[in-house]
Amino acid sequence: MTAADDILRIDDLEKVFTVRRGGKSHELRAINDVSLSVHRGETLGIVGESGCGKSTLARVLMGLTGASGGSITLDGDDLLQRYRSHSAETRLNMRMVFQDPYASLNPRRSIADSVAETGDIHGIFKGRADRRRRVEEALDRVGLGAVFADSYPHELSGGQRQRVGIARAILPEPKLVIADEPVSALDVSIQAQVLNLLETLKERLGLTLMFISHDLGVVAKISDRVAVLYMGDVVELGPARDLFTDPRHPYTQLLIEAIPRPDPATRIAGGIDVSEPPSRMRDRVGCPFRDRCPAATAICADETPKPRALSEVRQVSCHHA
């Protein structure tokens, strides 16, 4: 892939929060010098345990939270500059599907009004007839149909509400859709339906997706490439098949070992305890994973590992990988 194939480029992106603890101010680095690219037409999975910075990354990309440093470009446009100038076009070119289908829809607005909301704000409709046509077309594309246009959120199931959220995202025909944990609040049987829908829309509409999840099984199913985040750092990046069959970073290895298996006897011992995420107040020197890493040595405390190319399509940030 060349730079021309990248629809989104993230370079040295940072998001730092200042928090007070024990009467002192501390830096919490939610995103730490992240550099990534999203290729046109692909699905890039972003994976990591809760608190690793996935949702903060999504919010910064969407302009919902300001960046502390770095750059973001969408098809060559400087997004951070556009956010500062309140450019409407950016909001149309990159859309988001939120995690909670129950909280992301206004209960007082009809489904048609919710789906058309972005178009109404930015004036993309040519009239009431065009508005109705495009809303019904978006609902058809997500498998609901025009019959749901005049319904209200309380009349829909969780899976149907998430389809409405997807319809709202695709109506402006964006260049990129960010899906932040879009199936985590749904039953397993409904999850599969929503994942299949996203894959179908990607092929039919030529969408580019960034798919964020803590569920490695879901990410493996839908992603072309995967970036593994740990405490705001990208520790491993590569094609999904390669990363899941031959993980090189110890954190990736432990995440995969922790995937639940139907037969407990087949579960691999030593998996990471995702119920106890580490403190975000960390020293910037050394590897951020060293205190939980079974392979840590002295160099891991003294030197921060830099991203190292394993091949033209894979990289890892580890002294021992």
- pLDDT < 70 stretches in the chain: 1-4, 88, 261-284
Please state at what angle helix 128-141 crosses helix 158-170, rounded to 10 degrees: 130
Residue 12 to residue 214: CA distance in whole angstroms? 23
SS3 assignment, position 191: helix
AA letter at 205: L
CA-wise closest residue to 53 among 229, 252, 275, 292? 229
* Beta strand spans in 22-105 (E): 24-39, 43-47, 69-74, 77-78, 94-97
Pinpoint the alpha helices (H) of the chain.
54-61, 79-84, 88-93, 111-122, 128-141, 158-170, 188-205, 216-222, 240-245, 250-257, 298-302
> What distance, in Å, lies between the first and last C-alpha atoms of the chain?
24
* pLDDT value for 90: 75
* pLDDT value for 268: 46
Cα 12 to Cα 8, 68, 73, 225, 228: the distances in Å are: 13, 10, 12, 20, 16
* pLDDT value for 10: 98
Residue 102 to residue 195: CA distance in whole angstroms? 18
Residue 89 to residue 158: CA distance in whole angstroms? 30
Ranges of each domain in the chain = 3-316
> Hey, which residues does 308 pair with through a beta bridge?
316
* pLDDT value for 3: 60
* pLDDT value for 21: 78
CATH superfamily of 3-316: P-loop containing nucleotide triphosphate hydrolases (3.40.50.300)
Residue 56 to residue 46: CA distance in whole angstroms? 12
* pLDDT value for 223: 97
* pLDDT value for 272: 54
AA letter at 28: L
State CA 143 to chain mean position distance: 23
Could you give the count of Cα atoms lying within 13 Å of 182 in the half-sphere of its Cβ? 32
Tens of pLDDT along 244-276? 999 999 999 999 988 776 655 544 444 555 445
* pLDDT value for 278: 60
DSSP string, 142-177: TT--GGGTT--GGGS-HHHHHHHHHHHHHTT--SEE
pTM score of the predicted model: 0.91
Other C-beta atoms lying within 10 Å of the C-beta of residue 127:
8
